[in-house]
Amino acid sequence: MKKSIGKFTVLAVCTTLILSSASCSVAPSSEPKAGTSPQSAEILETRPEDIVTKERKARIKELADDYISEQDFSGTVLVGVDDAVLYTSVSGLANKETGDQNQIHTKYEIGSVTKQFTATAIMLLYEQGKLAVTDTVEKYFPEYLYADRVTVENLLNMTSGIPDYLNDVLYLFEQGELSAEDTFTVEELLTILNNRALDFEPGTQYAYSNSNYYLLGDIIEQVSGMPYSQFIRQNILEPLKMQNTSFDLKNATAKGYYKDGEEALRADTSYFGAAGEMVSTVQDLFQWQDAFINGKIVSKATVHKMLTDNGFGYGYGWFLDEDKCYHEGNTMAFYSIDMISYLEGIRVVVLSNVDDKLAAEIGMQMYTIAKSSLFA
């Protein structure tokens, strides 16, 4: 029988925690630069037809293979430009017990890459006129003490000041107070938040908080009248034929490991919710990137709105840099990054079944290799 985690009430009152890393990716490996967005660097609609040549693909393969072979990496890598796959690589074991190797189609937990889908679902409802990003969250969470001061947009771009609930969750895991059999609900999240002050006045600062996206998932359910997973599946996954993407962490076909090689704790999906509960493959995420940036799910005007900098290097579900948007994900057992460059159309997906930022470092290096090989 699964137990509820009501002990959060006491913990939230007595403890303020700052942990070195919280699940679903607390911050990017390399800090995004504030003040940049596609509105200051136009998304290029087309590129020269001859940009992808055999010679350039061979150069990417040579450089990428050399780099990855020097790393102690377990996972799958995909690099493309526009809708063309330029390079794939697979390394390591999906299951150390059985000796099964990772494959191009291996399903990994993607952590906070989930936030891209959550933000897009909110913006679908926005386009349908069912919500406004300027709405306060009071209509959705009247029991939350600060609901009249926080807007939907504050949740989307991490300017709400709402503390990150995963700090408390991880602490209880470390203390043995929670196990993978326990579950978590939005009601329990609100209990935590009502015992914690805002970190700052909404809209005045930025702080990455998984609480924002957990709440957005519940807003999607309230507005659409269907479960979060059903709304994403019906409006994004099925139209894009993303058949290997799902919402139960148990669907991952690779086992997750800590950096020291030990098998990682597998938490219940409910801990992560719309902040990081999805499982996917590099191929499915490559399809997603193409559909998103080309306005196939939400309009291009909405894409631009989502990729507008909040002044601190974050949009709606994406970190923003001068020439790219990206997100990392971490679930204490897996690490991921997906990335799209605005101008060159380069796309990178790296999924790993090891809790190690090496996956993000590889992703950034793959982008550099592709850019120098195609456009130097």
**Percent of residues, the chain, with pLDDT higher than 70:** 87
- Read off the CATH number of the domain in which 128 is found: 3.40.710.10
pLDDT of residue 116: 99
Using a 10 angstrom Cβ sphere, with 0-12 exposed, 13-18 middle and 19 or more buried, the burial of residue 218 is buried
- 29 — pLDDT class (breaks 50, 70, 90): low
Using a 10 angstrom Cβ sphere, with 0-12 exposed, 13-18 middle and 19 or more buried, the burial of residue 164 is buried
Q: How far apart are CA 182 and CA 3, in angstroms?
A: 5
DSSP conformational letter for 178: -
pLDDT of residue 49: 61
- Identify the CA nearest to 337 among candidates 29, 19, 20: 29
The arithmetic mean of pLDDT across residues 351-374, rounded, is 97
Does 158 reside within a domain?
yes
H helices present in the chain, as ranges: 8-14, 54-69, 114-127, 152-156, 166-174, 186-193, 210-224, 228-232, 282-293, 300-306, 358-375
| Structure confidence by residue, pLDDT tens digits, 228-267 | 999 999 999 999 999 999 998 889 999 999 999 999 988 8
pLDDT exceeds cutoff 90 at 338: yes
Tell me the pLDDT of the chain averaged across its residues.
89
pLDDT exceeds cutoff 50 at 150: yes
pLDDT of residue 47: 57
| Structure confidence by residue, pLDDT tens digits, 295-329 | 999 999 999 999 999 999 999 999 999 899 999 99
User: Which residues form the domain of 129?
Assistant: 19-53+102-334
- Identify the CA nearest to 9 among candidates 279, 194, 226, 284: 194
Does 1 reside within a domain?
no
The arithmetic mean of pLDDT across residues 33-43, rounded, is 46
Q: How far apart are CA 251 and CA 263, in angstroms?
A: 17
Does 202 reside within a domain?
yes
Cβ atoms of 327 and 25 within 8 Å: the answer is yes
Does 80 reside within a domain?
no
pLDDT exceeds cutoff 70 at 279: yes
Does 270 reside within a domain?
yes
Chain centre to alpha carbon of residue 173:
22
Q: How far apart are CA 169 and CA 180, in angstroms?
A: 11
Residue carrying the six token digits 């700090």: 167
Determine how many CB atoms are found less than 10 A away from the CB of residue 2.
Answer: 11
How far separated are the first and last CA of the chain, in Å rounded? 59
pLDDT of residue 32: 52
* DSSP character string of 207-257: ---HHHHHHHHHHHHHHHSS-HHHHHIIIIITTTT-TT-BS-GGG-SS--B
The count of structural domains within the chain is: 1
Using a 10 angstrom Cβ sphere, with 0-12 exposed, 13-18 middle and 19 or more buried, the burial of residue 363 is buried
Does 187 reside within a domain?
yes
Does 231 reside within a domain?
yes
Kindly provide the b/e burial profile for residues 140-157, where b requires at least 16 CB atoms within 10 angstroms of the residue's own CB.
bbeebebbebbbbbbbbb
Does 294 reside within a domain?
yes
Q: How far apart are CA 165 and CA 188, in angstroms?
A: 10
- 343 — pLDDT class (breaks 50, 70, 90): confident
Going 164 to 173 to 2 to 243, the CA torsion angle's sign is positive
